[in-house]
Structure 1
Amino acid sequence: MRAIWKGALTFGLVNVPVKVYSATEDHDVSLHQVHAADGGRIRYQRICELDGEVVPYADIDRAYTDGEQTVVLTKGDFAALPAERSREIEVVEFVPTEQLDPLLFDSAYYLEPDSASPKAYVLLRQTLEQTDRTAIVRFSLRQKTRLAALRTRGDVLVLQTLLWADEVREVSFPALDGPVKISSQELKLSASLVDSYAADFDPAEFTDDYQKELRILIDAKIAEGDTLDPSVTFAASAEQDKGGEVIDLMAALRESVERSRAAKKKGGDEAAQAG
């Protein structure tokens, strides 16, 4: 991994030098646009609308326009901003972990200690673990002031950027405004259905089927000289979505519970036979 940022975590008088790494990566198959008629690559150019010339990326600045006037902001202007110059991740408060709404979570980053001794790093990590609190921090990255949650993941400190409060939309659905009557029997059956699906979450058990199928399709086209009919490669396995509302909720719940139990029993029998 390559560090994307270096600085220091600060809380009180404690200073923890750290390196910052992206915690996630995209494994999607990379695709690009082509001309359907001949397969020619479609490319985009940065054209100045005043002189019609192609502008090199190095000559491009950013600007703010209010409809009447334009203010050009150079790279030097951004670099001069006090927040952009700061190399600190400042702890502003420690909050109960359960108060953080997952809807606020954005990008995740790993923090690596960047000093001869990791003592201050380990101290902060153990403090978070023992107090069951999450540190709310503020820092600047890529010309943006960020709010983030600092938490632990095993032996590593993780920085999870947060959306600002005004970036989360308020929601109101009229269909939910009126009273809805749920019977005790419906709740009981629904709870049984939940119980039949109960499991400990292991993300490694789940795979991106679309990307796997896309990779198979691409490999098949290469092997067959681009003449393979995709319908031959993949058998239709999903039932068509019929849409509409389930009228008999009780019947649907009962059937779901029965199917889930039967599937679980079948899996257990197969495991026993294999053993």
Structure 2
Amino acid sequence: MPRPLWAGAISFGLVTIPVKIVSATEDHDVHFHRVHLTDMGRVRTRKVCELDDQVVSQDEIGKGYEIAKDETVPVTDEELEQMPLPTAKAIEIAAFVDAETIDPVRISDSYYLAADGPVAAKPYTLLRKALERSSKVAVAKFAWHGRESLGLLRIRDGAIVLHSMKWPDEIRNPQELAPREVEVGDEEIEQALQLAEQMTIADLSGFHDEYREALEGIIAAKAEGKPLPAPAEDGTQEKGEVVDLMAALNASVEAAQESRGEDGEDATVHEMRPSKKTARKAPSKKTATSKAAVAKKTTGRSSSASKKTAGKKTASKRRSAS
């Protein structure tokens, strides 16, 4: 089990559940050192006091809040720990809400809550089973990392998960970011829904970090003195290029069906309707066949007529010559 990050208790009415917070995720990112390019020496961040220009050690560094220019109030860790907060050492459940009412944009980091000791087994199981049998999640408050946070408790594979959440006033209003109103046809919406259906999967276990894999490939090549991998082709669309939305959706549906091994013949559900001003209706198969037959006959007649005319001219020239 990974090292616990916090120890306290879940406060559930009059029920107390001793728990430890354990990180629910792992960091697989590739981390770089800052180096001096001429000799590859490490470049580190020095903690220097701006008043005396002296390097200070970690035990000489504390917290301070600037209340005015050139006036800072020191705040110690002991003072923070003694704040009169009921959530200082507890994850206090404040309410239960329907799971679907939680906006995903509010969810931040995730942690597992492990039962801390034998005494925690029964109340931990009680809360877990209560959440499992309902469609609700618990909303809680807890203090951690020098601040009080809003949390969400739910069940994952038999364990209680704590999601830290943003406070309501921390969520920006997205209305100013929305594009201007444009018309989208029902056919385009239906085709987009069909594409979404074709792209629906059962779980996300097949996803992996391709950027990290490519980065590891570059590092391995440089370490072994081999040529760097060839860069990927840029498949992005040029800025300002106009896209035929229905054609792009149709092509996307066909590609999704082909990737699933399905027959792509019936991928196009809605026929493209060209603009009355700029496009002409495509001829049907019968019309195209008729036109082709007429063109063939006409071509044949023209060829025969040309041959006859050429023969008459040749005969006239022979008579003149004789």
For normalisation by structure 1, the TM-score amounts to 0.87
How far off its partner does 1:90 sit?
Answer: 0.8
8 Å CA contact 1:20–1:111 kept in 2: the answer is yes
Q: Which amino acid aligns with 1:78?
A: L
Counterpart in 2 of 1:171? 174
Q: Secondary structure at the match of 1:205?
A: coil
Name structure 2 gaps, 5 residues minimum.
264-322
Selected match of 2:190 from 188, 192, 196? 188
Matches within 5 A, 1:28-107: 28-68=29-69, 69-83=71-85, 86-107=88-109
How far off its partner does 1:255 sit?
Answer: 1.6
8 Å CA contact 1:16–1:121 kept in 2: the answer is yes
Counterpart in 1 of 2:267? none
8 Å CA contact 1:150–1:159 kept in 2: the answer is yes
8 Å CA contact 2:15–2:123 kept in 1: the answer is yes
For normalisation by structure 2, the TM-score amounts to 0.75
Q: Secondary structure at the match of 1:265?
A: coil
CA pair 52-153 structure 1, distance change in 2 beyond 3 A: same
Query: Is residue 3 of structure 2 the alignment partner of residue 17 of structure 1?
Result: no
Counterpart in 2 of 1:272? none
Q: Which amino acid aligns with 2:36?
A: H
- Greater Cα offset, 40-49 or 83-92: 83-92
Counterpart in 1 of 2:164? 161
**CA–CA distance in structure 2, aligned partners of residues 116 and 154 of structure 1:** 20
Q: Which amino acid aligns with 2:251?
A: E
8 Å CA contact 1:246–1:252 kept in 2: the answer is no
Q: Which amino acid aligns with 1:255?
A: A
Q: Secondary structure at the match of 1:247?
A: coil
Counterpart in 2 of 1:251? 247
Counterpart in 2 of 1:132? 135
How far off its partner does 1:16 sit?
Answer: 1.0
Q: Secondary structure at the match of 2:174?
A: coil
Structure number with bigger Rg:
2
8 Å CA contact 1:9–1:90 kept in 2: the answer is yes
Q: Secondary structure at the match of 1:172?
A: helix
- The aligned length equals 261
8 Å CA contact 1:84–1:143 kept in 2: the answer is no
Q: Secondary structure at the match of 1:82?
A: coil
How far off its partner does 1:40 sit?
Answer: 2.1
**CA–CA distance in structure 2, aligned partners of residues 80 and 173 of structure 1:** 42
Deviations 1:24-76 (A, max 9, x none): 12111121111223322111111111111101111011111133321111223
8 Å CA contact 2:87–2:148 kept in 1: the answer is no
**CA–CA distance in structure 2, aligned partners of residues 235 and 44 of structure 1:** 33
Q: Which amino acid aligns with 1:7?
A: G
Q: Which amino acid aligns with 2:168?
A: A
CA pair 175-7 structure 1, distance change in 2 beyond 3 A: closer
**CA–CA distance in structure 1, aligned partners of residues 185 and 223 of structure 2:** 57
Counterpart in 2 of 1:262? 258
Q: Secondary structure at the match of 2:146?
A: coil
Q: Which amino acid aligns with 1:115?
A: G
Name structure 1 gaps, 5 residues minimum.
268-275
How far off its partner does 1:238 sit?
Answer: 4.2
Query: Is residue 249 of structure 2 the alignment partner of residue 242 of structure 1?
Result: no
Matches within 5 A, 1:203-218: 204-218=205-219
Query: Is residue 153 of structure 2 the alignment partner of residue 150 of structure 1?
Result: yes
Counterpart in 1 of 2:144? 141
8 Å CA contact 2:9–2:89 kept in 1: the answer is yes
Deviations 1:216-259 (A, max 9, x none): 211221112xxx442xx235344244233543211111122222
CA pair 194-86 structure 1, distance change in 2 beyond 3 A: closer
